[in-house]
A and B are shown apart, each in its own frame.
Chain A
């Protein structure tokens, strides 16, 4: 395999990892409370900026990762309990508008506190070296992103499919009322789903900063939207689907930029949304979900 192709592949996989991390949380929250959480992308931003703060203070990297997970989880629980819980019974559109409002509040508060300027975000020097892999090479950052993402996803799947909490989550997603009648503490389960999903998004923020090198308070908008696209590709509400959707989207995007002529690469984001519209048309239940209830 030529170096160029390999590089594109690694690039697509690491971008896909970012999308997958955000998309899984998105999908989890949707699966349980049927809420498209617009503020989800902003947790990516929160993760990136809290990492920046911790670098400035001098926290060692492994600890930073742990802290970022915690910060994301706390932020997610805060949003859920303050804003979303009181309007849980409201119509879907109300919830959607509320998440938009939360997103605007987070973005503009960040603008207030941090100003809109771009900030440099650097991983330590050893992360930026290239690793030779049998004739080809890849940047260590990309490799770490891919491996850590797989690890986190494995842990997530363990939680969801092998623990009591995960069983409670799946029960609540299946039928909230029935789960409550069976003695599942629904509020706590929902809170946990928000915590886990948001923690994953915050970690994606760390990777995002490391991959692109610059962060600003509005950076969460695009990953939030693309996570939605990834979810739709995989079938909204399905965790495995969201993960695969993320990888497909990342690879497709890189291929689009890498293989098509230079002057089209500005249309990258437009391409992603065209893809969304096409998929919603052709296979609205997603590529990997056989049966979904009404999409209304």
Chain B
């Protein structure tokens, strides 16, 4: 891999063409799946896409920038509540949420503006929380973001007028389908890809590898870390919003610490910083735990699949601590999207 990339190859164009082709092929596959498979499988696929998007978006902090954040469920909860309140049918708001302020009680948005607002709210929260929290490193950051989950959960439980307390919001219009999930996943992957192989992505990885050295070459590490955190929060919130419009319920416990753990598992197994790795790991874990569910139910051993996931993680940490692909992308993807350049593990 010491060979330098030949300068004359018009890499971006070839990359875009390949990406467009792959996306089109995947869309065709989704269309086929939607037409031929049962509703259950289609919903499962939608959840799978959302999980993949979540895992990739967690990569912004945990993979590229080396910030060990567990805060995803907190941002997802914010996104879910914001979007659900915005899309909720106006005529039913009176009975469901009588205490809602006037301007919220009379609005009823369609899905796209609602999820964008949800993402923006979470991004602002991330910005505010980020100032104190991002000064921390390693497990301090992890516990502080875990604390953020607890804080958001108790807000959702206790702020009755907006959130309807512990019983949560039910009967949220089922506006999301497989196409929303698929499209969102593509957007997240494309964004992650563009960032990873841009100067911003390099700055993130430099910050991860050696903060002092990164500062010395002129990288504003505070800004880079903040960007990664806010971007991750934005996508997490949108994913959380899309998911509740798929399952039509949200409670303060919908997105829990366990979810944070499972997302971390996906990122670690895929290889921290590897986009394709995160997608593959997320798909595998989603399918695996869904496949184990009937077994769990028939034997009556609830929680078994979670034990298996956790044990799998421990095994990966023993045997292959860098995950499937380390921080790079698999060979075939590298070839497809433009030569050697993308494969190098920075």
Contact = CB atoms under 8 A, between A and B. Distances in A.
Contacts of A111: 302-303
Contact of B307 (A36, A93, A105): A105
Nearest to A86: B318
Contacts of B309: 104
Given A96-B68, A104-B261, A267-B158, A112 B147 contact: no
Interface stretch (A8-16, A145-153, A169-177, A271-279): A271-279
B310 A108 contact: yes
A207 interface: no
A108 B307 contact: yes
B15 to A, nearest CB: 31
Given A274-B151, A276-B144, A281-B132, A108 B306 contact: yes
A140 interface: no
B185 interface: no
Given A97-B264, A100-B264, A101-B313, A36 B132 contact: no
B137 to A, nearest CB: 5
A296 interface: yes
Contacts, number: 122
A62 B99 CA distance: 54
B137 A228 contact: no
**Contact residues of B: prevailing secondary structure:** helix
Contacts of B157: 266
Nearest to B144: A277
A270 B158 CA distance: 11
Nearest to B158: A266
B143 A225 contact: yes
Given A105-B310, A111-B303, A267 B154 contact: yes
B175 interface: no
Interface of A: 36, 83, 86-87, 90, 92-94, 96-98, 100-102, 104-105, 107-109, 111-112, 115-116, 221, 225, 228-229, 232, 263, 266-270, 272-274, 276-277, 280-281, 284, 295-296
The 9 closest A-B CB pairs, nearest first, are A273-B147, A108-B303, A266-B158, A111-B303, A104-B310, A270-B154, A36-B139, A270-B151, A101-B310
